[in-house]
A and B are shown apart, each in its own frame.
Chain A
Amino acid sequence: MNEEWPLWEVFIRGQHGTAHRHVGSLHATDSETAMNNARDVYTRRNEGLSIWVVQSSQITASIPSKKGPLFEASKDKVYRHPSFYKIPDEVEKI
């Protein structure tokens, strides 16, 4: 039997952010305890408005050795960046 508690990844949406950001990980026996631990470990200095916890084993990650097929193909396709048109002066914020 594995004696170690499962690992959880913690995501926090900050005071000014709109998206949850990965802030770190912790050990906990279940989601409720993971949530409480996340509150204590990662929001002590008033960092967050919302917390997500997800068991690390539930995350499917890309494999580093396959980064060629995954990412190389887009490297020379500069036209995919929206930088080939002029922004009218009237548009102040974009």
Chain B
Amino acid sequence: MIDPRRSLALKMGDNALILAQQNSKWCGHTPTLEEDIAFANVSLDLMGHAQMWLNFVASLDGNGQTADKLAFLRDAIDFRNSLLCERPNTDFAVTLVRQYFFDVWHLEQLNHLKVGTDSTIVGISTKALVEVEYHRERSRNLVIKLGYGTEESHTKIQSAIDSLWPYFGNLFEDSDLDKKLFDLGISPLPSSLRETILGTISGDCKLASLNVPDNRFFHKGANIGHHTEELGFILAEMQYLQRSFPNCEW
């Protein structure tokens, strides 16, 4: 019988891990020095969250399981991150909007987990929350500023919103385990966050005359391991060292 907390912790950990990996590729390449440091900070924060969540998963698994093994030795089908987090960086606008969408969901989710009934999950969420509050403040600020910035920045942010839109709906899909977690008072039903989150995003976008697509089509499947082809490339790079030199340490 699977501990439902495992599936929640895995989802939280994989989202943080994959987004951190994607963001870290910007290190040394962002448009300005200040953004470079900020993005590296966000990546490190998320990597810290991934470590806490995956350590928790490892402790539930027992049998010598570790966070490192979970990160570096699983295949794409075993990852539970949202499709949003694995979208390619493309350009800085896409990266920013991806971060902003994720931050809005992340903050809402952690605020609910923080008042749940499981002490480990409450602990991790409380610790992560102070960082995520800042992440959301920053990404929101930049998306709005660029939204009403120049014609070019507006166009780029708008097209980033349009292109990422279908990829984050799977954060609101309920599974049987999610229903169990809800009954235990550990976490909210993913679908119950949907209207609040879409409302927050619409409100922010309106401030910068950005349009949120009417389209409510969202790709499904990430929750059962059906990812886009991008995740394969991400893992190939991220796991290369452990796959090529098993058990190597540094």
Interface positions of A (Cβ within 8 A of B): 5, 26-30, 32-33, 36-37, 39-41, 44
Task: Give B21-65 interface residues, CB cut-off 8 Å to A.
Answer: 32-34, 37-38, 41
Asked if B127 is at the interface of the complex by the 8 Å CB criterion, the answer is: no
Could you tell me if B145 and A36 are in contact, using CB atoms closer than 8 angstroms? no
Could you tell me if B138 and A36 are in contact, using CB atoms closer than 8 angstroms? yes
Asked if B142 is at the interface of the complex by the 8 Å CB criterion, the answer is: yes
Which A residues are CB-close (under 8 A) to B34?
A: 26-28, 37, 40-41
Could you tell me if A33 and B134 are in contact, using CB atoms closer than 8 angstroms? no
Chain A min CB distance to B37 (Å): 5
A-B contacts counted at CB < 8 A amount to 29
Which B residues are CB-close (under 8 A) to A28?
A: 34
Pairs across A and B, CB under 8 Å, 14 listed:
A5-B32, A27-B34, A29-B145, A30-B145, A33-B141, A33-B145, A36-B38, A36-B138, A36-B141, A37-B38, A39-B134, A40-B41, A41-B37, A44-B37
Assembly CA distance A46 to B41 (angstroms): 13
Assembly CA distance A36 to B140 (angstroms): 12
Asked if B137 is at the interface of the complex by the 8 Å CB criterion, the answer is: yes
Q: Please, which residue of chain B has its CB at the minimum distance from the CB of A8?
A: B34
Assembly CA distance A30 to B145 (angstroms): 9
Q: Please, which residue of chain A has its CB at the minimum distance from the CB of B142?
A: A33
Contact with A along B154-196 (1 / 0, CB 8 A): 0000000000000000000000000000000000000000000
Instruction: Please give 5 more A-B residue pairs, beta carbons under 8 A apart, in addition to A39-B134, A41-B38.
Output: A27-B34, A36-B137, A36-B141, A37-B38, A40-B41
Q: Please, which residue of chain B has its CB at the minimum distance from the CB of A29?
A: B145
Q: Please, which residue of chain A has its CB at the minimum distance from the CB of B35?
A: A37
Assembly CA distance A40 to B141 (angstroms): 14
Which A residues are CB-close (under 8 A) to B41?
A: 40, 44
Which B residues are CB-close (under 8 A) to A32?
A: 141
Assembly CA distance A44 to B37 (angstroms): 9
Which A residues are CB-close (under 8 A) to B145?
A: 29-30, 33
